[in-house]
Amino acid sequence: MTSEDPLALACRELPGVTGRFADLVVAAPDLSVLARASRWTVREVAVHVAVGARAFADLAGDPKPSRPGMANLADEIERRMADVSETDAGKLAALTQDAVEDFIDAWVDRPADYPVEWDGAPITTATLAGVLLGEVVMHGYDMAYALGRPWPIDPSHAGLILGAYGPLFPHIVDPGAAAGHTAAYAIDLGGGPILTVRFTDGVIGLEPPDMGPVDVTICSDPVTFLMVADGRLSQYEAIALGRMSATGDHPELAVGFKNLFVDP
């Protein structure tokens, strides 16, 4: 990792990853194959990433775009997907690459901490770029898995994506699962703790590392943590493989961490 800001890093890495994604689409022998653990076909996954990138780019058109609820952007992307009938693999690939390029053009010159109100969640341009990188990387994985193709995930990309996910944690807490919960979790991705997630009677707070005592430290490499966080790998499988572990006074809390959140 360099000293570059996360927005610049994500925008620098997006074209290459999107190119790999586009190559998968073009090489797919059958676009109607279901992607891994998905209700979407490979064609629909490509459309989803393309229209999602376009929606993210469109947020740049208003300095304070706002929608009333977290689910609305997903609903908007679903509506846009329904409007895309393209079935040619080459055109679908180009559609995705063009949308990502437009996103980069729209945001790359903004400061990394430039505020964006995304479905009621105040985030930054760096978070937005990291989330888009996650969309390309993880949906690329889903397509590659279904097609029997390799899809290595760069640990530095996983780190950027997870850095973007962190600020969204307060907006995806499961109120029922977190009700009354009090515990502090440190996240260690291999170079020491990077974030503390502290619940106090069900209310979440995010802290820099080492701000106070924690009950458990969840240890993992960035790719494994990303795969578990995004539901592509069971945390129990990650533990059995020796790729995720927990330390501290209450290591048993680690297995319930993911259940405190809903999938966005």
Same domain, 109 and 130: yes
Q: Which of 168, 196, 222 corresponds to the end of one domain?
A: 168
Query: Do 201 and 123 have their domain in common?
Result: no
Band (3; pLDDT cuts 50, 70, 90): low
Q: Across-strand partners of 261? A: 173
Same domain, 156 and 191: no
Pairing, β 216-220 against β 121-124: unpaired
Boundary of a domain, candidates 168, 195, 215: 168
* pTM value > 0.75: yes
Q: What is the CATH number of the domain that holds 207?
A: 3.30.1050.10
Which of 67-71, 119-123, 158-162 has the least mean pLDDT?
A: 67-71
141 and 185 inside one domain: no
Which strands form 203-207's sheet, in the order they lie side by side?
203-207, 193-200, 183-188, 216-220, 244-247
**Choice between 74 and 56, residue whose per-residue pLDDT is larger:** 56
Q: Are residues 237 and 198 in the same domain?
A: yes
In the chain, where do the E strands start and end? 115-118, 121-124, 183-188, 193-200, 203-207, 216-220, 244-247
Could you tell me the CATH number of the domain that includes residue 41? Answer: 1.20.120.450
CA 121-123-127 angle, to 5 degrees, is 125
Helices (H), 61-205: 71-82, 89-107, 125-147, 155-165, 175-178
> Residues 49-58: pLDDT tens digits?
999 999 999 8
203 domain-assigned:
yes
Q: Are strands 193-200 and 203-207 parallel, antiparallel or unpaired?
A: antiparallel
Same domain, 101 and 221: no
- Take residue 115 and report the two structure tokens written for it: 């505020």
Same domain, yes or no: 188 and 229: yes
Q: What does the alpha-carbon distance between residue 42 and residue 89 come to, in Å, rounded to a whole number?
A: 10
Q: Are 197 and 185 in contact (CB under 8 A)?
A: yes
Among residues 231, 223, 227, which one has the least CA distance to residue 264? 231
How many domains does the structure of the chain reveal? Answer: 2
Whole-angstrom distance between the N-terminal and C-terminal Cα of the chain? 27
Of 111, 145, 168, which residue sits at a domain end?
168
Residues 246 and 220 in one domain: yes
Domain hosting residue 248, numbered range: 173-260
Tokens of 193: 């703790």
Domain shared by 159 and 243, yes or no: no
Cα distance between residue 246 and residue 235, in whole Å: 12
pLDDT, one tens digit per residue, over 122-168 is: 789 999 999 999 999 999 999 999 999 999 999 999 999 999 999 99
